[in-house]
Structure 1
Amino acid sequence: MIMRKRMMVTGMWCALVAAFLCLGATRAQAQSSLAVDIQGPGQAKMNLVQARPFAGGGQMTPAEKLQDLINKDLQFLPFLQIVPQSSVPGQVAGATADQIDFKPFGLAKIDVLVTANWTPGGNLGNVELRAFEVYSQKVLVGKGYDAVTDAQLPDIADRFCMELMQALTGQGGFFNSQIAFVKPSAGKGADIWTVRPTGRGLNRVTNYNELGMAVSPSWSFDGRRIVFTLIGSRGHYLGVWSGGGKPQVYTLPSTNVVSPHFLPDGQVAVSLTMHGKADIYLLNSAYQPGQPLVSGSGIEVSPTFAASGGAMAYVSDGTGSPNIYVTTVHGGAGRRVTTSGYNTNPSMSPDGKLIAFTKQLGGAQKVFVMDLATGQETQVTSGGGSDENPSFSPDGYFIAFSSTRSGQKKIFVTTRHGAPPVMIPTGDGAAYMPSWGPLAQ
């Protein structure tokens, strides 16, 4: 079954609006016989083939471009193994089930077959995309887009892949979520940017350039604000961006403003040096500190909270070297959960069951994930370079982190199981300190 969507073209802005409003259709019927548990300990693999698109001569170029965009999107999904059609002697005479001989694909252990059919229409034409479960020959996802423009092709790819991920896993928010991160700017400055995990929708949030360094961004749980540290020539400040215009900047009674983070209720916790050492404070509605949320014998930094409420993790060096502790959102005495080594940069999973953090190994940082119920630590990044600042995705499956594995600091995506990292395109220059935002409301 194909769900058709009409794309109106009245300039670039209207095209993009149409892409997002009109493409957000209901998912097609998904078969329970084909599903993958992305949250479980095992990482199942499904084989997927994209059949060569059916298109007229004038439509073959955009058809191949869309196919390439879908392939690039699917590379972010480690439970899918992309198999070239040339390796399967299957007969695909058309884009619908009655035109496909599924038997050779089944014998080749292909799980999903994707077809594309282009027909004449406005702009580049109309396209129908289908994803079939090979065993049952049923449609997992079926979408139609009319009067397609070149500018809409990336969004069509994202939307189709989001629907496919939703059909296979029950979760598809990866493709329309956003990541805030830090990018160097003019002089010695740095600014906050946002981007979708596929590298699209790159947007500059702050514009301080050489006037300061905006670092350590953190999203609010409703996705409407980003809080960050602004390092100016005379000290540290707290910055709050509310989705448009210039961020508000607040002066706090501390020479250090470190690792601000939103709580689920919209309040902000931040590490401040108020009485000779760094403690974690809860800020009031005017973004000013009250009593410490966490205060111990050491330096307390890097608060992080579960979206489900209740749980909090942070870093303390009260026992000599930095370690990860957990407590409640009300603060109080923390429980140490890492037992050895140099451990920093915690990120709590939305359900509060896992903590991603960095551990120093041989002079470099690597990302680990701890199961709080068992205390088991699992290393999820390896190889060259240093990996830092992990941040869980809203579904708790993916983890973004910054790494020097490619030379310059860039942002990569892995999973809670340690899938091979994929770099997020963020343009020229370095990119670091990722913070994964919630799904759009």
Structure 2
Amino acid sequence: MESEICIWHAAGASVEPVLRVPGRVEAPNWHPEGHLLVNAEGRLWRVPLAAPRLEPVETGFARRLNNDHAPSPDGARIALSDKTETGRSCIYQMPAAGGTPERLSRNTPSWLHGWSPDGRFVVHAGARDGGPVGIYLTEVASGAERCVTAAFDHADGPDFSADGGWIWFNGERDGAVDIWRIRPDGRELQRMTDGPGVDWFPHPSPCGAHVVHLRYPPGTTGHPADLDVALWLMPQQGGPGREIARFRGGQGSLNVPSWAPGGAAFAFIRYPA
């Protein structure tokens, strides 16, 4: 198989292919310094946009990374998920240039998805004591964790709005998977999509105008790879969205925050048949 890293530009609503490589590459971030971060073969890779190619990022002992990673708001650190130490996904942080990861999450499994805008917290999915997957905040300084969501069969894919006022996520209730948002203290839960599609991985734009998310066909279970999927763009204040791209993808296409600083573009990955 092959993977094609792409950029969607708001100006002209156009898709720009950036790099096509053999194998499965997943989950692009857009680093504040202007390059992309992706996952492949259990490793982290940098993609310089001036001369696109895969450059390995040193992650020390961590060699079983999944596709959950994100640079801190200031770009100095990278948070990532790896299961080398415990066999179950744990969240770590390390210098953005690479190095030995330092564990952040006390509990497993935990899957990193993003940072609060002030860099004090990471927001992630987690499963505790045999219960369903929910949304959690972990304080970077102390490792203290608290659950944000309740009463969902499954909640996943969290990402902060740029002003820190909302956590967006996909939540499943009674077989329907929609986009939701909630205050970081667990108040004001709001359902933001309500249609036949299966909606995952919402990412608010840094400019505060839009939210991009992945839409699976009706009836899809989980977030599988290699399906006919679409990207949807909706107003951040709520309201009807619109399809902006359709391609072969799913898992790995848009798992983590991927907007460019300023919100003029975002990165995603498609998998040509």
Return the TM-score normalized by structure 1.
0.51
1: CA distance between counterparts of 2:28 and 2:84? 22
Aligned with 1:224: secondary structure?
coil
1:189–1:365 CA distance, 2 compared to 1 (3 A): farther
- Check if 1:247 corresponds to 2:54: yes
Aligned with 2:49: secondary structure?
coil
* TM superposition shift of 1:256: 3.2
Aligned match of 1:317: 127
Aligned with 1:357: secondary structure?
strand
1:408–1:440 CA distance, 2 compared to 1 (3 A): closer
Aligned with 1:204: secondary structure?
strand
Name the aligned partner's letter for residue 207 of structure 1: R
Aligned match of 2:29: 218
Higher helix share: 1
1:309–1:285 CA distance, 2 compared to 1 (3 A): closer
- Check if 1:281 corresponds to 2:92: yes
Contact 1:343–1:357 (CA under 8 A) maintained in structure 2: yes
1:440–1:388 CA distance, 2 compared to 1 (3 A): closer
Deviations 1:272-301 (A, max 9, x none): 0122221111123542333202231x2111
Name the aligned partner's letter for residue 359 of structure 1: G
1:361–1:277 CA distance, 2 compared to 1 (3 A): same
2: CA distance between counterparts of 1:416 and 1:279? 31
Higher relative contact order (CA 8 A, sep 6+): 2
Name the aligned partner's letter for residue 214 of structure 2: S
Aligned match of 2:260: 437
Which of 208, 214, 217 pairs up with 1:402? 214
- Check if 1:272 corresponds to 2:82: yes
Aligned match of 2:244: 424
Deviations 1:68-114 (A, max 9, x none): xxxxxxxxxxxxxxxxxxxxxxxxxxxxxxxxxxxxxxxxxxxxxxx
Aligned match of 2:269: none
Aligned match of 2:271: none
Aligned match of 1:193: 6
Which of 27, 43, 50 pairs up with 1:237? 43
2: CA distance between counterparts of 1:336 and 1:425? 33
1:104-123, aligned counterparts within 5 Å? Answer: none
State the structure with more CA Rg.
1
1:229–1:335 CA distance, 2 compared to 1 (3 A): same
Return the TM-score normalized by structure 2.
0.80
Which of 9, 16, 20 pairs up with 1:207? 20
* TM superposition shift of 1:373: 4.5
2: CA distance between counterparts of 1:417 and 1:403? 19
* TM superposition shift of 1:430: 4.9
Contact 1:311–1:352 (CA under 8 A) maintained in structure 2: no
Name the aligned partner's letter for residue 196 of structure 2: G
2: CA distance between counterparts of 1:425 and 1:303? 23
Aligned with 1:376: secondary structure?
coil
Q: Which runs of 5+ in 1 are unaligned?
A: 1-187
* TM superposition shift of 1:394: 0.7
* TM superposition shift of 1:343: 0.6
Aligned match of 1:302: 112
Name the aligned partner's letter for residue 228 of structure 1: V
Contact 2:68–2:80 (CA under 8 A) maintained in structure 1: yes
1:285–1:197 CA distance, 2 compared to 1 (3 A): closer
Aligned match of 2:201: 389
1:314–1:437 CA distance, 2 compared to 1 (3 A): same
Aligned match of 1:366: 178
Name the aligned partner's letter for residue 48 of structure 2: S
2: CA distance between counterparts of 1:354 and 1:440? 17
Higher strand share: 2
1: CA distance between counterparts of 2:64 and 2:138? 26
Contact 2:44–2:65 (CA under 8 A) maintained in structure 1: no
Contact 2:137–2:148 (CA under 8 A) maintained in structure 1: yes
Deviations 1:45-75 (A, max 9, x none): xxxxxxxxxxxxxxxxxxxxxxxxxxxxxxx
Q: How many residues align?
A: 245
Aligned with 1:213: secondary structure?
coil
Deviations 1:308-348 (A, max 9, x none): 43232111112422111113343511111101221100011
Compute the RMSD of aligned alpha carbons: 2.5
Q: Which runs of 5+ in 2 are unaligned?
A: 219-226, 265-273
